[in-house]
Copies of this chain bind each other. A is one copy, B any other.
Amino acid sequence: MANKRVYLFEEGNAQMRDLLGGKGANLAEMTNIGLPVPPGFTITTEVCMEYLRSGGKFPEGLMDEVRAAMAEVERRMGRKFGDPDNPLLVSVRSGAKFSMPGMMDTILNLGLNPQTVEGMIRLSGDARFAYDAYRRFIMMFSDIVLDVERHKFEEILGEYKKRLGVTLDTEVPADALKELCSDYMQLVEKETGKSFPTDPWEQLQLAIEAVFKSWNNPRAQVYREREGIPWDLGTAVNVQTMVFGNMGDESGTGVAFTRDAATGEKQLYGEYLVNAQGEDVVAGIRTPLHLDELMNINPEIYKQFDEIAKLLENHYRDMMDIEFTVEKNRLFILQCRVGKRTSLAAVKIAVDMAKEGLISKDEAILRVKPADIDQLLHPQVDPKAQVQVIAKGLAASPGAAVGKVVFDADTAAERGQTEPVILVRPETTPDDIHGMLASKGVLTARGGMTSHAAVVARGFGIPCVAGCEAISIDLHEREFATNGITVKEGDWISINGSTGEVILGQAPLVEAMFTDELHELLDWADERRGLGVRTNADNPRDARQAVEFGAEGIGLCRTEHMFFETDRLPIVQDMILARDEAQRRSALDKLLPVQQKDFEGIFEVMEGRPVTVRLIDPPLHEFLPSYEQTLREVTELRVAVNTLGGSALKALLEEKERLLEAIESQREMNPMLGLRGCRLSILYPEIVEMQVRAILQAAVAVKRRGIDVHPEIMIPLVGDVSELAFVREKLEAVAKAVVEETGQDIDYKFGTMIEIPRAALTAEEIAQHAEFFSFGTNDLTQTTFGISRDDAEGKFLAKYVEMELLPANPFEKLDREGVGKLMRMCVEDARKVNPSLKLGICGEHGGEPSSVEFCHEIGLDYVSCSPFRVPIARLAAAQVAIKDKVSVTVDK
């Protein structure tokens, strides 16, 4: 028994996407909930596959079913397809289950021929309207169905306009258009050797066949291949009555949102154009009216539309974007879909709808994209503004900033007092921090997502574009050049740290908005999520910010950032350059009280929340002057001594040479894989002993002030259990000593970072010597991939993503297949031997939604991320918990 092949819109519904395609199912749904949709019918996807499988044989008897459906449509409209007196025109569209680029475009006004066009003139009383529709139809049909290239039609029209001395299509009068139509017909005959089909039923059959064929056109095939859409789905064909908003002042067309798409306010919001078609609104030739004015122009239609909008919102349970047309006082709904909205609106609409009872709180949480929150927390370049992007670098620290260009930190610090500045540097060093703090934003020409500029800026919440290799900075001339444009010191620029864009001049910004609705949404999220959310913070300022954003602890406090501050760096350098342990210890004695103070500040802010402190991690040379600079100085001095001589110069040279030698002895071929982390602590335990003493003494001091403290001491870069056991034993002794000396009990933990593959692979052993693990996924990604982030991000990773060799930058989005596999193994092995082990992540992935999802899946206890990502992580964690709990299907 043959299946039903043609469905009137009344016969379908939203669930029939397989058979009717997405568009057909939606038209059927709208028809069935009583909306005034122009009547029509859908030919099923099965028919398409039958056609293709038969090698292009038009299915027998199909046109009979089409005629039967058309008869029902004619009945409803009171017009007849191909009737010269009262013609019915239709549109023909493709429509697969999934929206798919490459499929056939729309053909409008099908059914027109020399006879019916006269009927249209009579019906509309407007010959220009009718011939304009006719010439458009001939062009579209010829292009799509008959394969006559569109530009050939455009050329003929161009000649007409030239001859008439007009510039706009709309200025071509009716009789010229009529003549044009016959010229078009001749062109088609010349190109195809056949005359243009004038039988409406032949037109329709050819159009239906063209839709079937378009399923297999190359662009569609490529798309299906890439998206993994099966070949045998096929496309449906939608045939729908044409309605016209340009049939006089009782006609018109409009677009509306059921709520304000910019703010989320609950009010109908849109535009209306009298006597116009949809494409006139888009073309922007005439200024549309605010939708409210329709109330005055045509209160009855407005009332109808307002009711329909409410109905649609209730039906789809979301804010809708609706296209409609009024044809001679008759309202038609042409399309409706879930409306696009700003981040601000997304949050407000979700929360409002949950409170209205339209959706559940779970759904409200799932409706907001984590990226929306990111937008709300930072100033953004106004999306409506026209800006001149002059270069693009890495989106290193989110948010936008506007300021005058300065080229060094001192100038930034000075001018930043009185006016907004953007610090532009080849790259930044610890010496630039005061300047960075005084700047609205930072732009560097070199360095990756983990460069000094990027890390520090993210820490401070300052927008930053890093590694912008397209700009070349001339520090002497105090200017930078890019793509032929020169920007001098004092010129205005804007940077967008969320996209990496560098913009000339002052871009208009939209301020950060942590709204009440966002607070409410995140509170709901907190009630649902299983994962804890901590923050990466190295100082009280960041810690405070993170707590305000909802952080439940610190997952990573990098102690070495404290070492970089200007008052400490000289002491740190003394320590490194010390000739023996005694000298080193004396420098460390000076650092102890400074570090203790740092920790006291953080512990106070965190008020009893757990604080994971990572002991010193980077290779020591990072704290020393640059090798290149020192080499340059020594070479210059050497030349000077040789030419000028002089004992003072000579002494200076010798001193510099000693420094160079010291730096050289710390230099490494691959510092990422060198003497750092616990390796450093094994060779020079006195450094971490000082740090642990500082942590414990700070804890004692703060506890005595009545504030609870829970330090978790993290030993980095462990690759073998013996390293952890060795260092921990030494440090436990220090911790116990402080507890004994002070008589103050402190609840401290020791743990390690899992950041090199061998640690993950031997987790079963390491877990026996740790109270917690924290995945350092930045380093773990580097070692698992064998890729240095600093070197790769600019040089080849972006290219890899562009070439689709990798689905995403694995430093942004956790690589589940490789790094994730290691993590999963590690978690399983570790929990087997130490079920009470606390497991977290403190790499930058901890704030990236899909990575947060993965952390939930493998059963981590918490994620930790930079303060500004804390709200994102809270939302993402709740979303995965909800998805995990039930399968709420939200139709979007």
Give every chain B residue within 8 A of A822 (Cβ-Cβ). 757, 761
Restricting to A786-842, which residues have a CB under 8 Å from any CB of B? 786-788, 790-792, 795-796, 799-800, 803-806, 815, 817-819, 821-822
The contact string, 1 if C-beta is below 8 Å from chain B, for chain A 578-621, is: 00000000000000000000000000000000000000000000
Stretch at the interface among A197-205, A296-304, A664-672: A664-672
Restricting to A688-740, which residues have a CB under 8 Å from any CB of B? 717, 719-720, 722-723, 726
- For A672, A757, A786, A817, which residue has the most chain B Cβ atoms within 10 angstroms? A786
A551 vs chain B, min Cβ distance (A): 29
Knowing A628-B631, A682-B803 are in contact, say whether A668-B788 is a contact too (CB < 8 A). yes
Give every chain B residue within 8 A of A815 (Cβ-Cβ). 758
Knowing A796-B675, A818-B719, A818-B762 are in contact, say whether A668-B783 is a contact too (CB < 8 A). no
Decide yes or no whether A679 CB sits under 8 A from chain B.
yes
**Are B817 and A761 touching (Cβ within 8 A)?**
yes
A475 vs chain B, min Cβ distance (A): 16
A14 vs chain B, min Cβ distance (A): 38
The number of chain A residues touching the other chain, given as a range, is: 35 or more
Q: With the chains together, A345 CA to B632 CA distance in Å? A: 59
A662 vs chain B, min Cβ distance (A): 15
Stretch at the interface among A72-80, A518-526, A566-574, A635-643: A635-643
Q: With the chains together, A790 CA to B722 CA distance in Å? A: 22
Q: With the chains together, A682 CA to B806 CA distance in Å? A: 13
Decide yes or no whether A231 CB sits under 8 A from chain B.
no
Q: With the chains together, A679 CA to B791 CA distance in Å? A: 12
Decide yes or no whether A886 CB sits under 8 A from chain B.
no
Knowing A783-B783, A786-B758 are in contact, say whether A795-B636 is a contact too (CB < 8 A). no
A66 vs chain B, min Cβ distance (A): 47
Decide yes or no whether A683 CB sits under 8 A from chain B.
yes
Give every chain B residue within 8 A of A788 (Cβ-Cβ). 668-670, 672-674
Decide yes or no whether A216 CB sits under 8 A from chain B.
no
**Are A683 and B796 touching (Cβ within 8 A)?**
yes
**Are B803 and A720 touching (Cβ within 8 A)?**
no
A362 vs chain B, min Cβ distance (A): 35
Knowing A805-B720, A805-B726 are in contact, say whether A786-B756 is a contact too (CB < 8 A). yes
Decide yes or no whether A94 CB sits under 8 A from chain B.
no
**Are A674 and B791 touching (Cβ within 8 A)?**
yes
Q: With the chains together, A717 CA to B819 CA distance in Å? A: 17
Give every chain B residue within 8 A of A46 (Cβ-Cβ). none
Give every chain B residue within 8 A of A124 (Cβ-Cβ). none
Q: With the chains together, A1 CA to B668 CA distance in Å? A: 70
**Are B675 and A795 touching (Cβ within 8 A)?**
yes
Give every chain B residue within 8 A of A791 (Cβ-Cβ). 668-671, 673-675
**Are A785 and B719 touching (Cβ within 8 A)?**
yes
Decide yes or no whether A186 CB sits under 8 A from chain B.
no
A148 vs chain B, min Cβ distance (A): 38
Knowing A635-B632, A669-B672, A683-B796 are in contact, say whether A785-B805 is a contact too (CB < 8 A). no
Decide yes or no whether A432 CB sits under 8 A from chain B.
no
Decide yes or no whether A782 CB sits under 8 A from chain B.
yes
Decide yes or no whether A374 CB sits under 8 A from chain B.
no
**Are B683 and A799 touching (Cβ within 8 A)?**
yes
**Are B805 and A723 touching (Cβ within 8 A)?**
yes
Restricting to A622-653, which residues have a CB under 8 Å from any CB of B? 628, 631-632, 635-636, 639-640, 643
**Are B722 and A673 touching (Cβ within 8 A)?**
no
A821 vs chain B, min Cβ distance (A): 5
Decide yes or no whether A784 CB sits under 8 A from chain B.
yes
Decide yes or no whether A552 CB sits under 8 A from chain B.
no
A885 vs chain B, min Cβ distance (A): 31
Decide yes or no whether A318 CB sits under 8 A from chain B.
no
Residue of B nearest to A819 (CB): B758
A643 vs chain B, min Cβ distance (A): 7
Give every chain B residue within 8 A of A668 (Cβ-Cβ). 788, 791
Give every chain B residue within 8 A of A805 (Cβ-Cβ). 682, 720, 722-723, 726
**Are B719 and A787 touching (Cβ within 8 A)?**
yes
Within 8 Å by CB of A672, from B636, B670, B779, B803, lies B670
Give every chain B residue within 8 A of A683 (Cβ-Cβ). 796, 799
**Are B784 and A757 touching (Cβ within 8 A)?**
yes
Decide yes or no whether A848 CB sits under 8 A from chain B.
no
Residue of B nearest to A815 (CB): B758
Q: With the chains together, A635 CA to B628 CA distance in Å? A: 11
Q: With the chains together, A424 CA to B19 CA distance in Å? A: 81
Decide yes or no whether A844 CB sits under 8 A from chain B.
no
Give every chain B residue within 8 A of A819 (Cβ-Cβ). 758
A-B pairs, 10 with minimum CB distance: A756-B786, A673-B788, A670-B788, A758-B818, A674-B791, A635-B635, A722-B805, A757-B757, A668-B791, A670-B670
Contacts A668-B788, A669-B790, A720-B806 given; 13 further ones with Cβ under 8 A?
A669-B791, A670-B673, A671-B791, A673-B673, A673-B791, A674-B787, A675-B795, A683-B799, A719-B785, A755-B786, A757-B757, A761-B784, A783-B784
Interface residues of A (CB under 8 A from B): 628, 631-632, 635-636, 639-640, 643, 668-675, 679, 682-683, 717, 719-720, 722-723, 726, 755-758, 761-762, 779, 782-788, 790-792, 795-796, 799-800, 803-806, 815, 817-819, 821-822
Subset of 12 A-B contacts with CB under 8 Å = A632-B635, A639-B640, A669-B671, A669-B791, A673-B786, A674-B792, A679-B796, A682-B805, A757-B757, A758-B815, A761-B784, A761-B817
